[in-house]
Amino acid sequence: MSAVIVAIDGPSGTGKSSTSKAVAEAMGLSYLDTGAQYRAITWWMLSNGVPADDAEAVAAAAAKPVIDSGTDPAAPTIAVDGTDASGPIRSKEVTAAVSSVSAVPEVRSRITALQRAIAAEAPGGIVVEGRDIGTTVLPDADLKIFLTASPEARASRRSGELKGKDATDLSATREALIKRDAADSGRKTSPLKKADDAVEVDTTELTLEQVVECVVTLVEQAA
Ligand code: C5P
C-alpha cells in the first residue's frame, strides 16, 4: 500500500480519536491528533498569562510555543517547549478556552503548517483527525471521513471518558459540547465542516469496533 492520507473530521464525542487511533494501528499508519495541538497552544497561553479571549494577545503570542506531536497511534504524545503536556491539555480550563484560541487565524495558520509538515513526512501514510482536515489542512487526502452522532450519544460518551476526573453530569456535558461545537462551526477561519467529498458515518448506533471496521474498509478501497 502506498502512503495513504486519511482525514477524519467531526464534532466532539463522535469517537474520532478512538476510531482514528485504532484504524492507524490496524493499518500500520501514523496518527495525528490535531485537537491535542490546539489544546497544547491553549495550555501555553493560559500558563503564560495570555487571556484566551483576547484575540490580539493570542495572535501576538501564537508563534512562541514549540509544539511536538508524537505520531505513534499506540502511544501518542504531545510536548510544549520540551515538557510533556498530555495531562494538562485535557483540563477543564483548557477545554473551556480552546475554541477561542483555535479561532484566531494566526494560531490556525501556524498549526496548519505544522500539520502539513507532519503529514508530508509520515513514511507509510497517516490518519489525521480534527475539524478542518478534509476542508483545509489536507484537501487532497486519499480518504475523507466525517463522523457524526446524536448530541445524547456524544454527551454520554464524553461523560464516560471524564468519569473519575471531573464530576460532570450528563446535561452539563451536553451543554458544553453543544457550545464548543457551535463555536467551532461558527468561526470565520476554517470552521468545523464536512468536506463535499467526505464520507459521512453516523456512529450513534454503532460500536467502536463497527466504526473501525467500516473505516478500515474505506481506507482499503481508497489506497
Ligand atoms: O478534538 P478535541 O476535542 O480535543 O479538540 C479541541 C478543540 O480544538 C476543538 O474544540 C476545536 O476548537 C479545536 N480544533 C480545531 N481544529 C482542529 C482540531 C481541533 O479548531 N483540526
Per-residue pLDDT in tens (0 to 9) along the chain, 223 residues: 568 999 999 999 899 999 999 999 999 999 999 999 999 999 999 999 999 999 999 999 999 999 999 999 999 999 999 999 999 999 999 999 999 999 999 999 999 999 999 999 998 999 999 999 999 999 999 999 999 999 888 888 877 665 554 555 778 888 888 899 999 999 999 999 999 999 999 999 999 999 999 999 999 999 8
Q: What distance, in Å, lies between the first and last C-alpha atoms of the chain?
A: 6
What is the reported pLDDT for 47?
98
Long-range contacts of residues 59-64, Cβ cutoff 8 Å, at least 24 apart: 59/104, 59/105, 59/106, 59/107, 62/104, 62/106, 62/107, 62/110, 63/106, 63/110
What is the reported pLDDT for 175?
87
Cβ neighbours of 84 (radius 10 Å): 13
What is the reported pLDDT for 168?
55
Residues with CB under 6 A from ligand 1: 12, 34-35, 38-39, 98-99, 102, 130-133, 180, 184
Ligand 1 centroid from CA 19, angstroms: 16
CA distance 125 to 167: 39
What is the reported pLDDT for 83?
97
Asked if 136 and 215 touch (Cβ cutoff 8 Å), the reply is no
Q: Which fold has domain 4-218?
A: Rossmann fold (3.40.50)
Tell me: is residue 125 an annotated ligand-binding position: no
Determine the residue of 184, 187, 190, 194 to mutate for testing ligand 1's pocket, defined as the one with the most ligand atoms within 8 A of the Cβ atom: 184
